[in-house]
Amino acid sequence: MLNNIKRVCGFYVSSIHLITMILPYVKNQINMNAKFETILEYNFKENIDNVLSNLIINEEERQKILDINWNNDKIQKYSNIENRLNKLLNKNVNINILISGSKKYIEEANKLIEKYLNKNINKISDIEITIINCYEVSEFDDNIREILDNHELIINTSGIHKIENIFEDYKKRKIN
């Protein structure tokens, strides 16, 4: 894996929880001119509108957040993912790919993204890419450790952190 690609996981219990968890990060990244691509199993458009209507933020930030595609996607063909990500690469900005849904949905989306990254390794070497996999807690029964083991970082309402800083015993158990 390239050093410019970060894998982040997050866990949420409802769409409102997901939105409130990632909104500070999204706002911060937008202010740094980063771009977002979303692959969402469920539609968050209505809830993002509701949450933003209750926040005091400037209109430009609000509009940039609303301009992100918060609608659900069926897992798309590779060519659709490729076209969406190529548009962002041409802007030469940091890219955040937000994936949300069940474990199976996230795994399928990541396979397509991994294929894209491997195919375009020369194009992406100078761009910071953050893949944020947000798992709906009620949708998976698997051990959370498996998910944590496949990510370097975790996101919560206070931002992105090393997993062991959030789950203090994680590093100790990983060694054993």
- Classified as helix, coil or strand, 127 is coil
- Residue 58's identity, in one-letter code, is N
- Cα 89 from chain centre: 17
pLDDT in tens, 131-160: 999 998 876 555 687 888 889 899 988 889
Q: Are strands 159-162 and 153-156 parallel, antiparallel or unpaired?
A: antiparallel
Contact assessment for residue 136 and residue 102, using Cβ atoms and an 8 Å cutoff: yes
Low-confidence ranges of the chain (pLDDT < 70): 1-2, 76, 139-143, 171-176
* Domain range enclosing 64: 5-175
Nearest partner of 125 among 82, 153, 81, 92, judged by Cα? 92
Gap between the Cα atoms of 160 and 8, Å rounded: 8
Number of domains in the chain: 1
- The DSSP secondary structure of 14-61, one letter per residue, reads SHHHHHHHHHHHHHHHHHTT-EEEEEESS--HHHHHHHHHTS---HHH
pTM of the model: 0.88
Gap between the Cα atoms of 159 and 96, Å rounded: 14
Give the CATH number for residue 54. Answer: 3.40.50
